[in-house]
Chains A and B, each alone.
Chain A
Amino acid sequence: MNDAELDALFKALPEPEPSAALEQQVLHNYARLVAPPPPLAPKNRHWWGMGLATASLTALFYLLPDAPLSVGDPSQMLARGIGGETASLHLDAAVQIAGQEQRLSVGTAYPAGTTVIFRVSTDRSLPYTLARNGQIFAQGTLSPGETVLPTGYMLEAGEGAAHFVLQTPVGSAELQIPAVRP
């Protein structure tokens, strides 16, 4: 049986179809997603809100005590927030051989059929691209913490050394895998 005959056998199978209810549900949820948000309030409410806020602030000014506020010991103050911090980004990989996950050993040539799994640690949400030998084959968004990327890479017979680069707006991380074992 050649490729075309084999494909034709499977193409002739009845195609599973979504139910009418499911289709309605998708279109309904899409319509909800694109619907503009309802107006918040008539425009003149804006002035009422401003007046109320001003009156509240004035009342607070007269009611608060005159004593200076205690700010504590300045030497004990800690900086908070992410401003000025350097983003952390770490790329690690594991290999899956015959369903068994193992730590990737740099310098080891793995057999064809091995799947490389990418694990990334970062401290913030970042968009990323993953490229093999300069060719992008996955992209998405990283979440803070450790993320196993949804796309693995299966090594094929005869494949040469692979250089993987994870690129994000705050930096990149790299990984080198030797040629596939014959």
Chain B
Amino acid sequence: MDLVQAGEKEAFAVLFSRYRVPLYGYIRRMVSRSELADELFQDTFLNVHRARDTWSSAHGSFRSWLYRIATNAIRDRARMQGRRPEVLEEHERARAEDPLGKVALERALASLPDNLRDAFLLGAIAGFDHNEIALSLSITPDNARARLSRARSHLRERLEGS
């Protein structure tokens, strides 16, 4: 990240190739509509460059800073556009082509409120610890632990009830 701060293109390319898939997965599962996910994905990486002087390792890991930029972009967009009814509609369409129950899992994930889904995606899928989740979502570590726990309970109920 120090090299990115100095404007090194190669360093940016390395960060991009390391985080492109997990970050895109996170954004895509938070907003679902692919065009919007593409836009937010691009905004996030360009904002890394624009905000590079504000990053410091003293404030936590690079990835928690990166995910915080993404989370803020998602929240800003959600606030501008209202809620996202398209999530479940997309999964309804895909349901018929789901022999292995993957869509059921995606549907369960999509049914989580935004503030539990982001914690679950970071904690359970991206492998963040409570401190990193807290930094990424701008909440306290206790809050992060509680949200992750509530997300898991919600998903368990949903899967066992289906």
Interface residues of A (CB under 8 A from B): 1, 3, 6-7, 9-11, 13-19, 22-23, 25-27, 29-31, 33-34, 115, 132, 135, 137-140, 148, 150-151, 153-154, 156-157, 159
Contact across chains for B105 and A9 when beta carbons are under 8 A apart: yes
Smallest CB-CB separation from B108: which chain A residue? A10
Contact of A16 among B29, B46, B76 (CB under 8 A): B29
Contact B102 A13 (CB under 8 A): yes
Tell whether, in the assembled complex, residue A3 and residue B49 are in contact, meaning their CB atoms are under 8 Å apart. no
Shortest CB-to-CB span from B44 to chain A, Å, is: 9
Partner of A150, one of B13, B21, B76: B76
Q: Is the CB of A16 within 8 A of B105?
A: no
22 intermolecular pairs with C-beta atoms under 8 Å apart: A6-B124, A6-B155, A9-B105, A10-B109, A14-B102, A17-B21, A18-B21, A19-B38, A26-B45, A26-B46, A30-B9, A30-B16, A30-B45, A33-B46, A33-B49, A33-B50, A132-B140, A139-B138, A140-B72, A150-B76, A153-B143, A156-B142
A126 to chain B, nearest CB (A): 15
Q: Could you tell me the distance in whole angstroms from the C-beta of B37 to the nearest C-beta in chain A?
A: 8
Q: If A23-B20, A30-B49 touch, does A7 touch B147 (CB 8 Å cutoff)? A: no
Q: A115 vs B115: C-alpha distance in the bound complex, in angstroms?
A: 10
Q: Please name 18 further chain A to chain B contacts, defined as beta carbons within 8 Å, in addition to the given A6-B152, A16-B28, A154-B147, sorted by A numbering.
A: A6-B124, A6-B155, A9-B105, A10-B125, A11-B124, A15-B25, A17-B24, A18-B20, A22-B41, A26-B16, A26-B46, A29-B46, A30-B16, A30-B45, A34-B12, A137-B139, A151-B138, A153-B143
